[in-house]
Amino acid sequence: MADWTNLDQLNSYQALAADSTRVDLRAVLAGEQGGQRVRDYTVPMACGLAYHYGAKQVNDAILEKLANLAEEAQLAEKFAELYNGAMINTGEKRLVLHHLTRGQLGNPVIADGVDKREFYTEQQKRIAAFTKKVHSGEVVNAAGEPFTTVVQIGIGGSDLGPRAVYLALENWARAEGTLKMEARFISNVDPDDAVNVLSNIDVAHSLFILVSKSGTTLETLTNEAFVKDALNKAGLNPADHMVAVTSQTSPLASSSDYLDAFFMDDHIGGRFSSTSAVGGAVLSLAFGPEVFAQFLAGAAETDRLSATADALHNPAMLDALIGVYERNILGYQCTAVLPYSQALSRFPAHLQQADMESNGKSVNRFGEPVGYPTGPVLFGEPGTNGQHSFYQLLHQGTDIVPLQFIGFRENQGGTDVLIEGSYSQQKLGANVAAQIVAFACGKEDEDRNKNFDGGRPSSIIIGDRLTPESLGALLAHFENKIMFQGFIWNLNSFDQEGVQLGKVLAKRVLAHDTDGALAAYSDLLGI
């Protein structure tokens, strides 16, 4: 059994904190030695991706100390325990089993009296069978016409991950001829969200997926009511247009209000659920179950690589360690995720939840306060849009923000235009290469307004093309990175009590059980 110890109690961390060495990025990236450093500080990832960290503030000595930290913190052992069904979610007394949805190695995991590998595999088979009936015209609307649009109704992990994955693969699927149905998403309880989606689709040819593990999520059930109202007004029976993704014990599981129900369980947290039925239903309907299987295969390849004990050859573990070094030794409070791919436009939003909901904690796994910083604030937008937005602060602001770039050598659609001697994809790549060096090396100028101090660290994940396999690998990389950081900080990364208090107070407001400030704000909002 692994030993769970606070970060500041580890000898390897104390040695790291005592080392006053700071890497000067401007110096190490200058001249030909900079090119060699970029080539040397590279680790292969799954599915043809690679993690390049030559523009991070580390050197061989610091990397050795980080490897020692990984060994003392027993990161490989903890990942193996999680991977093979240990009770890692101590706050809720649950296993952590999202790896099982994509072919996890190891022994079968029995929980709740059920072989969970068989349970998740069975749900995938059921989703695939239902999907094929929809695509073949066996499942149709009341008029006998095919469904052309699928709409996911959910919030949090039931929306952010599946939406990010759908948008990441939509153009790829169009180019490859595998886009079976367009997908839309309704998440916000703000009625404008549901109205906007419903007014821009043909509800008669739309299939709706209600996603709620408990079957009681306020926002999701409210939006379901919007959808049912729209279907009724169109003279349609909602039960002919809706399926559910829920737990077997929820009120939705056997309701006649749905064409079918597919199941998840409490051992997969919402932010880690894109590879479960939560993502599987909408993505299989949109792209076909074969494409969803490719996505799962990419994630599984990353998971196998993440089990590597050698920290310097385990990209997710190394990424996590460097992030902890930046947060706890260098004192950087934020991280920016900057994909130079429009397809990944919602990927940073998904990672915001995955990272900040997992490691935004101030107590350890045993409920004891920790005396060191934990998860960073994470934000991001796709390049080059971000360059014309918040990069000013990143380049010349008073705070240094570590940067995590993502880039590809080829676009998804296969169409490009030659303008002024270069293609658009080349212009995109030129921008990310220039930004990495500009952030690291800066530029001296007597005019302080035009002076760039540099010393702004970054890494980049590079691949040939964003495909289902590489997207699955990319998603699992960040999921595993988040978990490794939680292990290092001795956190329970798998509960989210911080989202509960607001829900409780909102119910009081709606029940008019308020006083003091809560009553005053309720009055201001017209409730």
Active site residues: 357, 388, 503
175 burial (CB, 10 Å; 0-12 / 13-18 / 19+) is: middle
Question: Angle at CA 381, nearest 5°, toward 224 and 437?
Answer: 165
Residues in the chain: 527
* Per-residue CA distances from 208 to 141, 222, 242, 357 (Å): 12, 14, 5, 27
Cβ neighbours of 71 (radius 10 Å): 15
Distance CA 527, CA 524 (A): 8
CB 131 within 8 A of CB 285: yes
Place of tokens 């500009």: 438
Distance CA 317, CA 63 (A): 12
CB 186 within 8 A of CB 152: yes
* Per-residue CA distances from 137 to 124, 131, 144, 181, 468 (Å): 20, 10, 8, 13, 25
Distance CA 171, CA 414 (A): 10
For residue 66, which of 102, 15, 27 has the smallest C-alpha distance?
A: 15
The CA-based diameter of the chain, rounded to the nearest angstrom, is 73
Whether cis (ω within 30° of 0) applies to the bond prior to 384 is yes
192 burial (CB, 10 Å; 0-12 / 13-18 / 19+) is: exposed
Cβ neighbours of 247 (radius 10 Å): 16
Q: Sign (positive/negative) of CA torsion 23, 25, 31, 34?
A: positive
Helix (H) / strand (E) containing 150? strand 149-153
Per DSSP, the residues of 246-304 read: EETTSTTTT-TTSS-EEEE-TTS-GGG-TTSHHHHHHHHHHH-HHHHHHHHHHHHHHHH
Tokens of 263: 């199941």
Which residues share a beta bridge with 53?
none
CB 235 within 8 A of CB 203: no
Helix/strand/coil (H/E/C) assignment for every residue in 385-433: HHHHCCHHHHHHCCCCCCEEEEEECCCCCCCCCEECCEEHHHHHHHHHH
Q: 506-515: long-range contacts (C-beta < 8 A, 24 or more apart)?
A: 506/218, 507/218
CB 151 within 8 A of CB 184: yes
Distance CA 24, CA 33 (A): 13
